[in-house]
A and B are shown apart, each in its own frame.
Chain A
């Protein structure tokens, strides 16, 4: 079974709105990463948050991590049509491998 699961599975918003997607995981982690995948392309790393961090920012991205709830959220502010993609969280449940979630498909309409 998947270590990380994103919610919602799909999200549609208008340009300028904020997009929030969530990731829940099952076991303790060292860090959690978020990746983006444009249609037909490979994944691109967005941001990494360590288990001892609660919030991290990168440009229009804001990631939070709540280890007590085993959950993380990715907020994209002032979304653009170019943000249309699938977003995946990835965790390292104390192993030497990353485990990817099933992803959130984000559609941003102009």
Chain B
């Protein structure tokens, strides 16, 4: 099992460009999450999907959109990238939303110039 995979691993964008970060899990988990991690800070939740067909805002959703394409895949889209979105982005999944252990992908390092 690959667990949680993310693509791409690195990306450089110019201000105003758009891109989609891809995430897939092969653990048959119901819930998936997108976090961002900035230096000196813990993980902050951007969006999550408790189950296929549902998505909800986390702590820092502004500037992002998500799509739960199917049970395996959860994508994060930046419509018009800003330098403040320079960060490392992590996708995670868990059996159930909330208290379950979360399994993380390797991360995408995004730089917006």
Residue positions of A touching B, CB distance < 8 A: 2, 4, 30-31, 33, 40-45, 48, 88, 90, 92, 95-103
Interface residue from A31, A43, A90, A101 paired with B90 (Cβ < 8 Å): A43
Is there an interface contact between B42 and A102, defined as CB atoms closer than 8 Å? yes
Interface range on chain B: under 10, 10 to 19, 20 to 34, or 35 or more?
Answer: 20 to 34
Cα separation A41 to B43 with both chains bound (whole Å): 13
Cα separation A90 to B35 with both chains bound (whole Å): 13
Residue positions of B touching A, CB distance < 8 A: 4, 35, 40-45, 48, 50, 58, 90, 92, 97-99, 101-107
SS of B interface (majority): loop
* Closest chain A residue to B40, Cβ basis: A102
Contacts of A90 on B, CB cut-off 8 Å? 102
* Closest chain A residue to B31, Cβ basis: A96
Question: Separation in Å of the A90 CB from the closest CB of chain B?
Answer: 8
Say yes or no: A97-B48 contact (C-beta < 8 A), given A41-B106, A45-B102, A92-B99.
yes
Cα separation A44 to B102 with both chains bound (whole Å): 8
Cα separation A44 to B4 with both chains bound (whole Å): 12
Is there an interface contact between B98 and A92, defined as CB atoms closer than 8 Å? yes
Interface residue from A41, A45, A99, A101 paired with B103 (Cβ < 8 Å): A45
Cα separation A30 to B101 with both chains bound (whole Å): 13
